[in-house]
Structure 1
Amino acid sequence: MTQINREWAIARLETFINVAELTTTQHGYIALANPVAAVQAEAQIAEQILDKALPGWRTAGWKKHAASFWREREAAHRAIAQLRAEQELADNLGSGAPQLDASTMHRWVWGSIQGLWSSGHYRQAVGMAATAVNAQTQSKVSRRDLSESKLFGDVFSTKAPEPDKPRLRLSANDGGDTWRNQHDGAAALARGAYAAIRNPIAHEVGDELMEHEALEQLAVFSLLARWVDDSTVETAV
C-alpha cells in the first residue's frame, strides 16, 4: 500500500462505524440508529479510505446481511485491523528506508491512473500511464505518425531536427559526449520501457501485478515523463 495516514484513516473509519450503528426498533426490526443522511456523509469518506486500504472490498464474497451499509461496516472493521497491523509492523520491523509514493510521480502518470490504482488494477494502471506519456509526448512535438519506442527514438535522436521531425533537447548541445550520452540514454530508456513493460501489458493476458512491482514500473514512466516535460523542442530552421 502506498503512503497513508494510518491514524487518521483509522479514526475516520471508527467514526463511520459509530455513526452507522444499528438498533432494534420497537417492532423488532434492525435499523440504523442515526439518520441515513448522516451515515451517507460518513460513508462518502470511509469508502475512499477503503478503496485505498482494502482494494476489492466492494466485490468481496463476504456473507451478506440485510442491514443497510453492511458491506461498508464489515470492510471498515477489516481495514482498521489491517491498518493497525501494518502500523505495528512498520513501527517494529520497519527499515526506515524511504517509500515510493505514486502520488508524487509526474502528473502525466499519476493524473491518468488514480481511479485504477485505488481499485487495485495495478497492471492496467501501468498500461494507462504508458499510454498517457506517449500521448503527451506526441502532443509536445506535434506528431501522430510515430508512437512509443519509435517516437522516443526519433525525438531524442542526436541528429539535427528535420522538417516535421522536431527533437527534444534535455540540455544545450555543447558538442560533448555527455550531451550525446544523455539523449541516447533517454531514447534507450524509453525503448526499454515500452518494449519490456508496455508491450506485454498491451498484448498478453497476465496476472495482476503486485503493488510494489507496479510502483517500480510506474517510476520508469514518471522519469520519462519528467524528461519530456522538462525538455525543449528544437525544430528545423
Structure 2
Amino acid sequence: MHWPTIRSSGIVDLVMNLPDPDWAVQQLDRFLDLITTVSSHNGRPGRRHSGDSDEITEQFVAVEQIFDRVIPHWRDQPLERVMNPDLPWVNHRKPAVQAKTVILKDSEIREKLGDNAPQISAASLHPWAWEGARSLWQSGHYREAVTAGRPKDQRRNAEQVEPP
C-alpha cells in the first residue's frame, strides 16, 4: 500500500514515498522503449510501436500505478488527436516522460528551491483517521481529506467555536 505524505502546504509529496524510485524509473524506461515509434515492417508504409501490443499492455500495468502516484491528475490531461490506429499508446509518452522527470529531479528541485515544510506519513496516522480520509485524498480533495481525518471531537469543537 502506498502512503502519501502530507505537507503543511497541502501539496502531496508522492515521490519521496516511492519505496524504490530506481525501479519506477526502470519501468518507465522500459515502457518508453516499447512505445517508441519505428518504421512498419512487412514493407507497409507508416510507423508502429517497437513493442507488441501484449508486451506494452503488460508493462502499462506498473506504469499506470506509477503515474497515479507521481502525477495524480495525469488522466485529466488533454489527449492529442492520433489518426494512426497503429500508435494507440502515443498519448502515454508525455506522462511517462513527465513521471520519470519528476522522480529523477525531485531531490534536485528540493535542494535548489527548498522545502522545509513539516511532513507526516499517512502510515503514522491512526487507522480511523486514514480510513476516513483515504477516498477523499485519493480523489484529490486534500482539504476535505484533512478535515475528515481529524478526530470527531475536534471537528465538533471546531464547529462550535464561532469566528470573531
The TM-score bracket by the shorter chain reads: 0.5 to 0.7
Over the residues paired in the alignment, what is the CA RMSD in angstroms?
Answer: 3.1
Gaps of 5+ in 1: 134-147, 153-188, 197-237
Question: How many corresponding residue pairs?
Answer: 140
Secondary structure of residue in 1 paired with 2:119: coil
Distance 1:113 1:64 in 2: 37
Counterpart of 1:17 (choices 29, 32, 48) is: 32
Distance 2:47 2:104 in 1: 30
Query: What TM-score does the superposition give when structure 1 sets the normalisation length?
Result: 0.48
Secondary structure of residue in 2 paired with 1:63: coil
Gaps of 5+ in 2: 1-12
1:49 aligns with 2:14: no
The higher-RCO structure (CA 8 Å, 6+ apart) is: 2
Q: Return the offset for 1:40.
A: 1.1
Contact 1:51–1:118 under 8 Å retained in 2: no
Contact 1:22–1:31 under 8 Å retained in 2: yes
Structure that is richer in helix per residue: 1
Given the superposition, is the C-alpha separation of residues 96 and 190 from structure 1 closer, same or farther in structure 2, using an over 3 Å criterion?
A: closer
Task: Pick the structure with greater CA Rg.
Answer: 1
2:97 — aligned with what?
A: 77
* 1:176-191 aligned within 5 A: 189-191=154-156
1:33 — aligned with what?
A: 50
Distance 2:34 2:132 in 1: 34
Percent identity of the aligned residues?
25
Counterpart of 1:110 (choices 130, 137, 145) is: 130
Amino acid aligned to 1:9: A
Query: What TM-score does the superposition give when structure 2 sets the normalisation length?
Result: 0.65
